[in-house]
Amino acid sequence: MAKGHENLIPQAHVLTLEEQSAGGKASGEARRKKATMLSVLEKTLDETNNKGLTYRELVTLGLIKGAMNGSSKNYELITNMMEQKEKKEDEQQVFVTIPAKDIASSFCDINRSIDDREYREYYLEGGRGSTKSSFVSEKIIEILENNPKMCALATRQVKDTLKDSVYAQIEWALDQLSETYPHIKTDYKLTKSPLEMTKISTGQKIYFRGADDYGKIKSLKPPKDMYIGVTWYEEADQFKGMNEIRKINQSLIRGGEDFIQFYTYNTPPSSQHFINVEKLIPKPSRLVNLSDYRQVTKKWLGQAFIDEAE
């Protein structure tokens, strides 16, 4: 037999149980040490030095400085970092749209108009069963999902009416959209005190405040680098007047360029009501839409509702 041939014989040496156990323990210990070191490194990188910069920022600045001084290795590292960041963001971003089955025919054109940002103010009036509130609640979630810098405010005249109306309506919208986008269901934290909803992955907020407690609306401070881009005035005809609404808008329209305001209400019978007067004032930023139960799929409402409406 040629020299060294014995090394080719299968299972020339079989590890004993003690040797296997010792090897497994050593391997496990090495993995634990590595995980601990990475954890400490991550924590240290996020700490701040005496100049107010995190060590992560200092490392990045060092890489940039080296690349500017001609280091091709630094340049390659920075490029790879940027590519990985963009790839991660692309993987995380899921574009959300309200399923067509959820939109009544009276809101199809409006839905496209909102997507195209044709107007800032949407006056959506009509009686019970028009599904205007259902549409708006789902649209607010859709807008926030696709605009990670935006937060929203849902308001009514009286704060005590919020929990059982707009809050419950947006909770319904989350459940409805979760049928198509399962991640939505688990990505929102709902709290009753304060009355808010928080998108966990981004920190975006949906605030619920009453106009009768204007101080709490005025003092709203969205998370850093975010702003309140969507406002929903539910039962807008019940507010004290346009001056009250304008005061709220003036407090909210800041920190961004993309704003949408929804006004939903049952058409008041008096032509002198402030909302009926206001909606007739021509404004290039405003769309007024009237809808009722007749544009809604019958099975959504049920025959009993339709009989009563008729």
Name the residues annotated as catalytic.
235
Helix (H, G, I), strand (E, B) or coil at 15: coil
Check: CB of residue 117 under 8 Å from CB of residue 81. no
Place of tokens 């924590």: 43
What residue type is assigned to position 240 of the chain?
K
Q: Which residues contact 263 (CB under 8 A, 6 or more apart)?
A: 121, 122, 123, 124, 233, 236, 275
Helix (H, G, I), strand (E, B) or coil at 151: strand
Check: CB of residue 157 under 8 Å from CB of residue 117. no
Check: CB of residue 184 under 8 Å from CB of residue 141. yes
Q: Is omega for the bond preceding 194 within 30 degrees of 0, making it cis?
A: yes
Pseudo-torsion of CA 162, 164, 167, 169, nearest 10°? -130
Check: CB of residue 292 under 8 Å from CB of residue 130. yes
